[in-house]
Structure 1
Amino acid sequence: MNLITGGTGLVGAHLLLHLLQKGEKVRALFRTEKSIQKTKHLFNQLEHSDLFHQIEWFSGNVNDIPSLELAFDNISYVYHCAALISFDSNDEEQLRKINIEGTANMVNCSLAFGIKKFCYVSSIAALGDLKQNETVITEETEWNPEKPHSDYALSKFGAEMEIWRAEQEGLPCVIVNPGVILGIGFWDSGSGEIFTKVQKGISFYTKGSTGFVGVEDVVAVLHQLMKSDISGERFTLISENITFKNLLFWISEGINRKKPSFYAKPWMTSIAWRIDWFFSNLFFQKRKLSRATAKSLHSEAIYSNDKIKSKLNYEFQPIKEVVEKVTFSFSKKQ
């Protein structure tokens, strides 16, 4: 039996579907009945409503140890996908509580219940920082604590430390570090918001770039890693490094919307995040543009996927094909 956290989010929901299609038994944690409906909607959208009823839903969360102890009964494998994704400095405490402490609770229970293998979904945000003579970020790139990192990146890095601690205590573990994950469903959160915002109209673009990957590739790799003898390693999961400009243009084409035409220069986004900070504090609103996000929009980070491709002989879907598939699904829901 597999235990999946984050089963009501993009990666966890697609992972549930993938495992069920492979004939695996799954148990998924949930916090509210309403959140389950998002996963149900995805299964219906992908025409797999029959498989949805095979999920064993279990009420609990990663910071509620008594509920975890019940959820771990008769479990052999754990996929820890649950996380808080936020770049709002006001969420620092919650990021540490959910991402670090929650992960510690998960591995502690795994050790106590003799779990055979543990897979943690981290982020490229937790990878290292380039030195002056380096150009490509890999799994071996050294983390520099002296450099500025977002609270989200710090929380994912801290969570990885809990994984390596558990590995030393005898729990077989693997970590994956996906880039920006694109996939069908969950249009009101995560990368799904990009499609929603383009549909509503975005007038500006930036020339920064980062690593992107399709959710179907992510869950396929998770499953292959879990079934392999690989342990004690981390893997960067990206299909390609592309610019935000290209992504926005492809999405605009896919949903038949006007492409952004205004280039937002770094000094413009620098002013924008300060204005956002002012008004969010004045009116007690959620941040829309943080300093870290504004900086990332102009970063030209290049990530390597050579390790996972070599280890599993895996080929990723080109991002343009992923975008075409996702925009087609997005358009159908309108």
Structure 2
Amino acid sequence: MILITGATGLVGAHIALQLIEKGNRVRAIYRTTSSIDKTRAYFDYYQKSALFTQIDWLEADILDIPLLEIAFENVDLVYHCAAFISYDPQDEEQIRKTNIEGTANIVNFCLSKNVNKLCYISSIAALGDKAPHENTISETTEWNPEKPHSDYAISKYGAEMEVWRGQQEGLDVVVVNPGLIFGPFIKTITDGSAGIYHKVAKGLSFYTMGSTGCVVVDDVANIAIMLMNSEIKNERFTLIENNYPFKTIFDAIASALKVKKPRIHADPSLMNIIWRIDWLLSKILNKKRQISKATAKASSSKNTFSNEKIKTRLDYTFTNVTNYIQTNVIQ
């Protein structure tokens, strides 16, 4: 039996689909019945509705020890995809508790239940910080605790420390660090990177000159499964197809949706104004933040990530992100 946490999210749903297509038995945990609808929507999108019924769903939470005890019965492999994603500083406590403590729980159960191997879906946010002499960020780039990081980045880094602690205690693990992940555009799904599609569809006016590593969800799921089925263990891998300016991504989505492309350049000084306005509105209207100081800074950062390690180890060819957007972002 293969257990997937976070199977109601983009990556977890695609891992579940690929595993079932290969004839594997899959158990997936969920917190709310409504969240399962997102996974069903992905299966329906690929016209694989019949396969959706093969998932063994179990209500549980990675912070709920008694329910995890049940979830781990007869489990051989674990894909830990569950995470709390937010860039609102007010969510700091929940982010760290879910992502770090929750991962510690998964690791502890893997150890106590003698699970054969754990795959942890991390993030490029948990990779290190470039030193002055470095041009790219890779698996060996060192994390600098003196540098500013978002609460989300800190939580994913802390979660990785729990995974490596498990490895030191005898658990076989692989860690993947995907960049910004793109899946199909499904109108009923608005969280995660899908939110970018909806913002552009509604007429996103601003763009920044920042850039980041991007990857297609099918590649993340495929590589995770390949690593779990291989002899590779106790290593981490950066998963990106390429490094893209945000404007290139926005323009590709706008072109696919046949809407106006963002046309106003939001330089760092304008972004500083925007995040302050957003903070003020969140206080006045009592709503969640849409952009924080950290995300405003990140939107103008030009980070370059290397995917050479995974390309070399698996001889893998990634799907071009902009081409994928053109064929999967349709109304």
Normalising by the smaller structure, the TM-score range is over 0.9
1:253 aligns with 2:255: yes
Give the partner amino acid of 1:244: F
Aligned runs of 1:132-281 on 2, under 5 Å? 132-184=132-184, 185=186, 187-281=189-283
Matched, 1:81 2:110: no
**Letter paired with 2:81:** C
Aligned-partner residue type, residue 238 of structure 2: T
Aligned to 2:91: 91
CA contact (8 A) 1:178 1:237 kept: yes
Counterpart secondary structure, 1:100: helix
Shift of 1:40: 1.0
Q: Which amino acid aligns with 1:179?
A: G
Q: CA deviation at 1:319?
A: 1.1
Identify the range of structure 1 (136-145 vs 275-284) with the bigger mean alpha-carbon deviation: 275-284
The structural deviation recorded for 1:219 is: 0.1
Question: 2:180 and 2:56 mapped to 1: Cα distance?
Answer: 29
The answer to whether the Cα contact below 8 Å between 2:138 and 2:306 also exists between their aligned partners in 1 is: yes
2-structure distance, mates of 1:165, 1:75:
20
In 2, distance between residues paired with 1:325 and 1:7? 24
1:272 partner SS: helix
**Of residues 308, 311, 318 in structure 2, which corresponds to 1:309?**
311
Q: What's the TM-score, normalizing by structure 2?
A: 0.98
The CA distance in 2 between the partners of 1:66 and 1:272, in whole Å, is 44
Matched, 1:320 2:322: yes
In the alignment, what sits opposite 1:282?
Answer: 284
- How many residue pairs end up in the alignment? 329
Deviation per CA, 1:58-111: give whole Å up to 9, x if none. 110100011001000010000000001111110110011100000000000000
Paired with 1:290 and 1:151, the residues of 2 have a C-alpha distance of: 11
1:41 Cα deviation (Å)? 1.6
Q: Deviations over 1:133-155 (max 9, x none)?
A: 11100000010000110000000
User: Which range moves more in the overlay, 319-328 or 45-54?
Assistant: 319-328
Q: 2:38·2:189 contact (CA, 8 Å) conserved in 1? A: no
Q: Return the TM-score normalized by structure 1.
A: 0.97
**Other structure's SS at 1:303 match:** coil
The 8 Å contact of residues 187 and 195 in structure 1, kept in 2 or not, is answered as no
CA shift for structure 1 position 241 = 0.2
Q: Aligned partners of 2:327, 2:26: CA distance in 1, in Å?
A: 26
Give the letter aligned to residue 307 of structure 2: N
SS in 2 for 1:120: strand
Q: Is the 8 A contact 2:116 2:172 kept in 1?
A: yes
Gaps of 5+ in 1: none
Opposite residue 268 of structure 1, the aligned amino acid is L
Q: RMSD of aligned C-alpha atoms?
A: 0.8
Does the aligned pair in 1 maintain the 2:107–2:166 contact within 8 Å? yes
C-alpha displacement of 1:45 = 1.6
Distance in 1 (alpha carbons) for counterparts of 2:133 and 2:42: 45
Q: Residue type of the partner of 2:75?
A: I
Q: Which runs of 4+ in 1 moved over 4 A?
A: none
Per the alignment, residue 64 of structure 1 pairs with 64
What is the alpha-carbon distance in structure 2 between the residues aligned to residue 197 and residue 326 of structure 1? 16
Shift of 1:275: 1.4
| Residue ranges of structure 2 left out of the alignment (5+ in a row) | none
Percent identity for Structure 1 against Structure 2: 53
Provide the residue aligned with 1:34 in structure 2.
34
Report the AA paired with residue 123 of structure 1. Answer: S
Q: Which residue of 2 aligns with 1:6?
A: 6
